[in-house]
Amino acid sequence: MVKQKFDSIIIGGGHNGLVTAIKLAKAGQRVLVLEAKDQFGGAAVTRGLAPGYNISAAAHLLHLLPKKLQRELRLEQFGLVLAAQNLKTIALDLAGNHVVFDGKNLSGGTAADQSHYPTYHRDMQELARFFAPLLASRAPRLARGKHEPHARAEKLRDACNLAMTGLRLRLLGRRRMRQMLRIIGMNAYDLVDEHFESPLVKGAIALDAVIGTEFAPRTPGTVISYLYRLGAEYAAGNSLAQPQGGMGSVSAALVKAAEAAGVTLKLKSPVARILVSRADSSQGYDDEYAPDYASGVVTVNGTEYHANHIVSNVDPKTTVLQLAGPQHFDTDFVRRINNIRMKGVSGKLHLALKALPEFKGLSRLELGNRLLIAPSSEAIERAIDPTKYGEFAEQPVLEITIPTLADPSLAPAGTHLLSAVVVGIPTELKGGWKAESRKALLKNVMAVLESYAPGIGKLVVQSELLTPSDIAEEFALPGGCWHQGSLTFDQFYFMRPTYGASQYQTPLKGLYLCGAGNHPGGGVMGLAGYNAAQQVLRHPIKNQNSKG
Amino acid sequence: MVNKTQSRDARNSRDSGAVKKQQSVQQTSSHRYDVVVIGSGHNGLVTASYLARAGLDVLVVEKNDYIGGAAVSRNLYKDFTYSNCSYVCSLLRPEIMRDLELPHHGLQVIPYEGGAVLMPGKQFLGSSNNHEIQRREFAKFSIRDSEAYDRLSRDVIRQCKFIKPLLLRTPPDPTSFKPRDLTELLYLGQKLHRLGEKQMHETMRFWTMSVSDFLDEYFESDLIKAMYAGSAIIGTALGPKSPGTAYVMLHHFMGDVDGAVGAWGFARGGMGSVTKALASSFRAAGGEIRTGDGVAQIRIKGGKAVGVVLESGEEIKAKRVISGADVRRTFTGMCDPSDLPAEFLQQVQNYKARGSSGKLNIALDGLPEFSALPKGSPFVTGDMHIRDSMESLERAYDDWKNGSWSEAPYVDMLIPSQIDPTMTADGKHYMTVFVQYCPYKLAAGEWTDARRKAFGDTVINAIAKHSPNFKSLILHAEVRTPWDIEREVGLTEGNIFQGELTMDQLLFNRPIPGYAQYHTPIDNLYLCGSTTHPGGGVMGAPGANAARTVLGDIGKLSRSLGQPSYRSLFYKSHGRTAKPIKAMSVAGSAP
């Protein structure tokens, strides 16, 4: 058996894991990243669809990765090039009277909507500005035991954090503060209804609020997921972008940055379990009360790696219950971890196309933008409702990109790719997924597409429809939930993933979490990894073996 | 400020009885009341009674010919008494009962022991106030769940204990720097902090979770979950899978009858007895009630309320006007929009009140038999439900969203005449049936008699499936949709809580952010209905809180009505709050 010793081991080479690894390595630690698949990047990957066609398989737009983080990690130097930036969002209309969202401007919709939109946009940006810094720092703990190590310093840090948040809330001004305290508890359906008239405008905004979650617009709490998204977009410079070479190039740049920082990266090394040891008298503990601590990992093929910090990019549930094992935690914590809800109702459609499809009323130039098929908030509601009962939507709601317009290298010359998020597919289909049900679902999706882009069906060379359960399997995201845990109030901020582990640190000494299942959550944002690294660095390594 | 001599006069006039009262009625046109209260619902009467007891000259005006708002007993068919809106009693705050001496004025609440969920095929799940009986009932379906019941009872009672003291407090304005608001915020923060890490987070989760997720953490049996979920959706325009419904469930658990936590009971003589006792208490304190003439307009002069104009055209002058109607009805129905700030008016229009419940009142020729329940079973005396799964509840909600009533509605039915013989003649029975969901507006168009009948038939057929002789016993049935409730009681869109109990409309957001302290943008105009904190149900807390605000404004706040003291803020009393909570019983299925 081979044994190797590191300062930190990162389980899983998703974007968050890579960010953590880079940060730790830069601080002088010896870091190992273990990735189960043959490619780094987790849900930010580019992979083959058909010969010559390469697709961003899960995430397909870059809009949440903060500018500051990109600069800090020098992703540009490591090869990240944006093929397109500042994409507009176009809500498609069957008759071709599309609505275009371009920054603070709105075209299409009613005259009242157009004149109101800039005010609405400004209000929301103010709130986003409030949220942005909350995402880039760890969530405070509201209370902690008296006897926890480092309690005093940590308490002070949290108290300052809370006080700052309170102060910033006050600084919003009375009107905005009231507005925010009201709308965070609301549902997206009511919010858009209060502001706009045109169903297309309402649908587009409501979709922003619910995409990636399990909820329909009428569900309370959908505004908080909307504000969270706006906050992250604000930090990322409010630019919908498409990287050259697909989302995989974000991960590729991260890998290069990690290599440059001296991180040891290993592919095809799935971790079987986390090794847990018991402290002994040599570490100054009374044998009877000695705590367990995570001391390493063992891979499926039997290689052992040892480290002081084990940082898991895998979702919290799998990490605690399967990799570490429930026996190392108190029952109450295990129960809470077990109760984390992970559910996705979005799938992914990939089409390899012979030629560029024609959408009614859209020029070739406009086709490169983010296209939404969400005719109204009711339509989204109707698409998501069946998923509650394990059924899929008659008319799913779509978020479409055609990446080949900005980046022809993704497909053979003259051909195109279409990538779409399909909302309205249950995590588990009643009766399970069979070939027929997949076919029926694809038929529903294609029918929707066909009504907006007549003739698209005939252009299809190869199609692929990933259901949430496929996503769960391919990207190791249980339940097909992009965020490694639904973004709801009770799983938000200091309750993410659950209290007692909300600061990237589990009750098992030496075991940390850095995935999207932690604050601030999912999307290709990288902040969970960034915050986790900071938390790991707060705990110095006792047995000096680091190079720094 | 109220003129002291005048209020002393008012007190004197009360002592000398009816003769003086007669005079004051004749003088109304020139008489200027201290306070006029719009609406004789329970909250309006609670406010009015407190104010009258403080020596103010108070008039209550009611548009209907009878008092009570939504807490009424009515004779609509022969000698049957219908509790034709609200139908069970539990939430009425004991502090108010004591302060206003309601038992002395004839209020008697009789608890019922339990109820049952009827299932297809002669099976039933009983619910009981008795913890052990409840455990046995659960064990019929799942041993694990009967054990989880202890855990649920404990946790729910913890949440009740936390929230109960907040009911009779005015919520703080988090944007204000006034000492009162800051201390109140501090009080809340400290109360939360004292719960400790675990309990604090559990409380916050509880407030924000869906009842479906909440129950998933306890039970495995879908039927038991469905039994609890019913109480979380009553009156709200949310389904069991909507976050925030766990809190609504609490709203049905935090009451008590004679100190039995979570228990529910019937007011003897129907729910009208609650308002009757309140009115009697109010009149005994010298108050005056006028019925059959509603308020057409609130008279506002120079940004101040100066009185009301009745539908008959009569004008009543008053120093203060307190509206028991919901915020939308008060400001869009009774005020001139030009008197209101534009932003406020818009917020009022955005206030969410959605009708989601219907009601059937049925006169029966005898006691119906239920095929699942043995004759004479104590479970028949309480609330009986027809339900089979969480999915059917959620699907009923989806039907409501699409603008129709469900073919398989959630039904909460009770036969109070078994316990309270005053409601019907011997051998006859009265049944109240609460139906969730029923839309205010149908997708097919407005409510018509034919559609109302179809809705009623759907419900009756659903019940008849479980009771073979039910249909043959029906003498008379009154079917009420949200539309009817709005028209008769005046609740906007027929929402029984005078506004949704969602996070954006609770605490300092209820009803409008910045106006959660019973004040309005109009000076001397107050709100006291369920539209204010802490919300709906026959609780009386909004009315008492509003009365406290008014008395505080005129400097007549007596100690008993004041907020609980802030001393606890400065003297730590960990010993008191840290007491372990024993597992106590929660009534199995509160309606």
Nearest to A490 among B175, B192, B209 (CB): B209
pLDDT of residue A3: 63
- Closest approach of chain A CAs to the CA of B64, in angstroms? 33
Residue-wise pLDDT for B84-116, tens only, equals 999 999 889 988 999 999 999 999 999 888 899
- Closest approach of chain B CAs to the CA of A501, in angstroms? 12
Query: Which residue(s) pair with B519 in the sheet?
Result: B526
Residues of chain A contacting residue B505, judged by C-beta atoms under 8 Å apart? 185
Q: Cα(B543)–Cα(A251) distance, rounded to whole angstroms?
A: 60
pLDDT band at B22 (very low <50, low <70, confident <90, very high): very low
Counted domains in chain B: 1
Nearest alpha carbon to residue A461 among A411, A423, A401? A411
Residue-wise pLDDT for B514-537, tens only, equals 999 999 999 999 999 999 999 888
Per-residue pLDDT, averaged over B174-188, amounts to: 90
Q: Cα(A131)–Cα(A134) distance, rounded to whole angstroms?
A: 5
Residue B369 belongs to some domain of the structure: no
Nearest alpha carbon to residue A297 among A326, A319, A316? A319
Per-residue pLDDT, averaged over B160-183, amounts to: 90
Can you list the residues of chain A whose pLDDT is less than 70?
1-3, 145-150, 287-288, 541-548
Cα-Cα-Cα-Cα dihedral sign, residues B486, B490, B492, B496: negative
pLDDT band at B248 (very low <50, low <70, confident <90, very high): confident
pLDDT of residue B576: 36
DSSP A175-188: HHHHHHHHHTTS-H
Q: Establish if B213 touches chain A: CB-CB under 8 angstroms.
A: yes
Nearest alpha carbon to residue A84 among A253, A244, A247, A248? A244
- Closest approach of chain A CAs to the CA of B449, in angstroms? 29
Nearest to B398 among A170, A220, A385 (CB): A385
Tell if the CB–CB gap between B197 and A144 is shorter than 8 Å.
yes
3-state SS track over A217-255: CCCCCHHHHHHHHHHHHHHCCCCCEEECCCCHHHHHHHH
Would you put residue B23 in left (φ > 0), alpha (ψ -120 to 50) or beta? alpha
Tell if the CB–CB gap between A178 and B242 is shorter than 8 Å.
no
Domain of B309, CATH number, reads 3.50.50.60
Nearest to B200 among A142, A177, A335 (CB): A142
Query: Which residue(s) pair with B527 in the sheet?
Result: B323
Tell if the CB–CB gap between B175 and A174 is shorter than 8 Å.
yes
Rounded to two decimals, the pTM is 0.92
Residue B407 has pLDDT above 80, yes or no: yes
Tell if the CB–CB gap between A142 and B502 is shorter than 8 Å.
no
Nearest to B197 among A488, A490, A499 (CB): A499
- Residue appearing with tokens 């119906």: B368
Tell if the CB–CB gap between A185 and B244 is shorter than 8 Å.
yes
Residues of chain A contacting residue B174, judged by C-beta atoms under 8 Å apart? 177, 181
Tell if the CB–CB gap between B504 and A183 is shorter than 8 Å.
yes
Residue B253 belongs to some domain of the structure: no
Residues of chain B contacting residue A495, judged by C-beta atoms under 8 Å apart? 201, 204-205
Q: Cα(A236)–Cα(A132) distance, rounded to whole angstroms?
A: 9
Residue-wise pLDDT for B449-471, tens only, equals 999 999 999 999 999 999 999 99
Nearest to B200 among A143, A388, A488 (CB): A143
More confident residue, B445 or B122: B445
Residues of chain B contacting residue A145, judged by C-beta atoms under 8 Å apart? 197
Q: Establish if B204 touches chain A: CB-CB under 8 angstroms.
A: yes
Residue B387 belongs to some domain of the structure: no
Mutate to test the interface with B, among A141, A148, A182, A494 (most CBs of B within 10 A): A182
**A165-190 burial, b if ≥16 CB within 10 A, otherwise e?**
beeebeebeeebbbbbbbbbbbbbbb
Range with lowest mean pLDDT among A215-224, B181-190, B344-353: B181-190
Range of the domain at B301: 30-69+271-350+500-569
Q: How far apart are the first and last CA of chain A?
A: 28
Residue B166 has pLDDT above 60, yes or no: yes
pLDDT of residue A201: 97
Q: Establish if B76 touches chain A: CB-CB under 8 angstroms.
A: no
Greatest pairwise CA separation for chain B in angstroms? 71
Tell if the CB–CB gap between A184 and B503 is shorter than 8 Å.
yes
**Nearest residue of B to residue A333, measured between CA atoms:** B198
Residues of chain B contacting residue A162, judged by C-beta atoms under 8 Å apart? none
Q: Cα(B113)–Cα(B585) distance, rounded to whole angstroms?
A: 12
pLDDT of residue B287: 96
Nearest to A178 among B204, B241, B514 (CB): B514
* CB proximity under 8 Å: A 188-247 to B: 190, 194, 218-221
Q: Establish if A148 touches chain B: CB-CB under 8 angstroms.
A: no
Q: Where are the domains of chain A?
A: 4-44+65-77+247-341+479-538
Q: Establish if A489 touches chain B: CB-CB under 8 angstroms.
A: yes
Residue count (chain B)? 591
pLDDT of residue A280: 75
Q: Strands A3-11 and A304-312: what pairing?
A: parallel
Report whether the peptide linkage leading into residue B542 is cis, meaning its omega lies within 30 degrees of zero.
no
Q: Establish if B190 touches chain A: CB-CB under 8 angstroms.
A: no
Residue-wise pLDDT for B45-60, tens only, equals 999 999 999 999 999 9
Quote the tokens at residue B253. Answer: 């658990």
Q: Rounded to 5, what percent of chain A is helix, strand, coil?
A: 40, 20, 40
- Closest approach of chain B CAs to the CA of A508, in angstroms? 18
Tell if the CB–CB gap between B513 and A174 is shorter than 8 Å.
no
* Alpha-helix runs per DSSP H in A394-452: 435-452
Nearest to B196 among A143, A170, A335 (CB): A143
Residues of chain B contacting residue A499, judged by C-beta atoms under 8 Å apart? 197-198, 201
Nearest to B213 among A181, A341, A385 (CB): A341
Q: Cα(B84)–Cα(B265) distance, rounded to whole angstroms?
A: 16
pLDDT of residue A545: 41
Query: Which architecture, in CATH terms, is A4-44+65-77+247-341+479-538?
Result: 3-Layer(bba) Sandwich (3.50)
pLDDT of residue B361: 97
* CB proximity under 8 Å: B 11-50 to A: none
**Taking the CB of residue A117, how many other CB atoms lie within 10 A of it?**
21
Q: Establish if B198 touches chain A: CB-CB under 8 angstroms.
A: yes
Residue B560 has pLDDT above 60, yes or no: no
Nearest to A178 among B175, B193, B209 (CB): B175
How many A×B Cβ pairs under 8 Å? 96
Q: Establish if B504 touches chain A: CB-CB under 8 angstroms.
A: yes
Nearest to A495 among B175, B201, B241 (CB): B201
pLDDT of residue A542: 59
Tell if the CB–CB gap between A142 and B197 is shorter than 8 Å.
yes
Residue B544 belongs to some domain of the structure: yes
Per-residue pLDDT, averaged over B263-270, amounts to: 91
pLDDT of residue A149: 65
Q: What is the mean pLDDT of chain B?
A: 87
pLDDT band at B558 (very low <50, low <70, confident <90, very high): low
Q: CB-based contacts of B433: which residues, under 8 Å, 6+ apart? A: B359, B360, B361, B362, B411, B412, B413, B459, B463
Nearest alpha carbon to residue A276 among A295, A289, A258? A295
Q: Cα(B454)–Cα(B444) distance, rounded to whole angstroms?
A: 13
Per-residue pLDDT, averaged over B379-394, amounts to: 90
Cα-Cα-Cα-Cα dihedral sign, residues B30, B36, B38, B40: negative
Residues of chain A contacting residue B244, judged by C-beta atoms under 8 Å apart? 185, 220-221
- Closest approach of chain A CAs to the CA of B208, in angstroms? 6
Query: Which residue(s) pair with B363 in the sheet?
Result: B430, B476
- Closest approach of chain A CAs to the CA of B106, in angstroms? 42
Query: Which residue(s) pair with B429 in the sheet?
Result: B364
Mutate to test the interface with A, among B147, B197, B216, B507 (most CBs of A within 10 A): B197
Contact between A351 and A403 under an 8 Å Cβ cutoff? The reply is no
Tell if the CB–CB gap between B201 and A218 is shorter than 8 Å.
no
